[in-house]
Each structure stands twice: as C-alpha cells, then as structure tokens.
Structure 1
Amino acid sequence: MEDGFKPIECNNGDVLDFGDNTYKIAKFKQAMDTSFNSTLEDTWNEELNEELSKQGVEIKESQNVNWFQKGIDCEILTLGSQSWKKGKVKIKISVEFYVEEQDVQITNSNNLEITKPESPLDDLRRIIHKEN
C-alpha cells in the first residue's frame, strides 16, 4: 500500500475500530464473503457496503468508499498486542492455483509431451512379457 503502509496478517479474533463501531475480523470477513457473489467489479464496492450494513457493520464514511484502491481509515487491535494501531483496511483479491499432480513433462521449450505416470506393476509386466 502507498504512503508507507505495510500489510499485516489479521486473525479472526483481531478487532477493527471504525470510529464509533468496533468489529471482530471474523464478522468483517463474513460480510465480505457474502458480498462477492457479483461478477461486476464496479458493483463490488456498493454490494460490500450493503452487505456490511446487513451484517451490522456500519462504516461512517461515504457510501462510495473505495475498498480496493484507497482503503478506509481505521484502527486494529491484534491478539496479544498492548495497543491499537492506526492504519487502513484495504481489500486485495488474490488468485491461487494448486496443481493436483504433475503429469506433463517438458521435452524441449517448444514441445510438450503428456505422459502417464508409470505403474509399479509395469516392471513385473515387462519381466513376464520377456519370459514368454
């Protein structure tokens, strides 16, 4: 984030303070999860503000708060810390991909060869085939 801010990991038990209102991160995350059903990026800010309001999370900033660009001023109290820290809440979306199993071998940089993993029984089959 710009202006010398750095992201920190938030736990579900940490607390956010938006002036008159204080919420646990778990409640905040639940409202965000529910609001991301839309596929139109332009409506996410509006839907998030609406969903936060439905969940009882009222932010006294403009309804056009940009959660994804500027963030919004607040304070956080993390578990085990002695005091509140001032900062901003900014929502960042990440895309993660997990490979289930490796089944592609690269033979050269321009050619891909798809191979099946070898069975442990293939050695036995070869031995039996040679004997016949």
Structure 2
Amino acid sequence: MKNKFITLDCDDVVLLEKDTFKVSRLKELVQEQIYSKWERHSASYLYSVQNANTQISEFFKQLSISQETIKIDEVKLNLVIDCQILKISGRGWQKGKLKIKIYISNVTKDKYRLYLEFYPDESAKPESSLDDIRKMIQAT
C-alpha cells in the first residue's frame, strides 16, 4: 500500500465487492459491528478461553508479565479491503484499498473511534503544464 491516502468525505461512495455504501453509512455499520462484537458477544467468546463473566474489554485492560502489570489504554485494529471509491468531486470510480482503523479506548470518554483511509491503486495523473495555463486564463 502506498503512503499517500485520499481523505474520504461523508457523501463519497464505497463499493465493496457488490455492495455500495455512503462513507457515513459504512462508518455507522462498522461501529455497530465493533460495539456488538466487543461488548455483547465477548462473554460467549471468553467462555471458551477463560470464564463467562469476563468481557473482552475487561480481558484487554491489562497484561500480567511475571510480577509486572501493564495497563492497556487503547487497542488498535487495522483492517484492509479491496474496494472502489466514487468521490463527490467526480472522476469516476477509482480502485484501491480501504483501510479501516479502529481504536478502542479503556480510558477516554469516546470509547470507540473509527477512521477510513483510501489508498488508490494507481496514483492520480499529474496535471499537465497546460492545466496551469488554463487556470491562469480562467483567473483573469
């Protein structure tokens, strides 16, 4: 994945396989899923790992290493998926990778934070020198 990403606006459209979503709606759906899996289904998951009364959020609050206890303030998850983006500014569909960054905090009021970044497969075509001339003509 290239280092440069394109910021997505809430009204931009994302195509994942066969489903399309406005960025704002995709963020809502991902947040709902994370909350559901992190909070509601954690007890059943941990039943097989530890005991049924412990949630994943409790499980990730600290690590015990020998005599030391390390407090965990934040868990970060990064998901990457192939997609296409249709920007409101309009240049047609653009292929690339959608990176979903999820932050789950044990210490902040805003427990769940979600960011979407789009990394295009092909870099945008550089403007030609004629574009500079056109801009100067339009400005006068």
Relative CO higher for 1 or 2, CA cutoff 8 Å, sep ≥ 6? 2
What is the TM-score normalised by the length of structure 1? 0.43
What is the TM-score normalised by the length of structure 2? 0.41
Please tell me whether Structure 1 or Structure 2 has the larger radius of gyration of its CA atoms.
Answer: 1
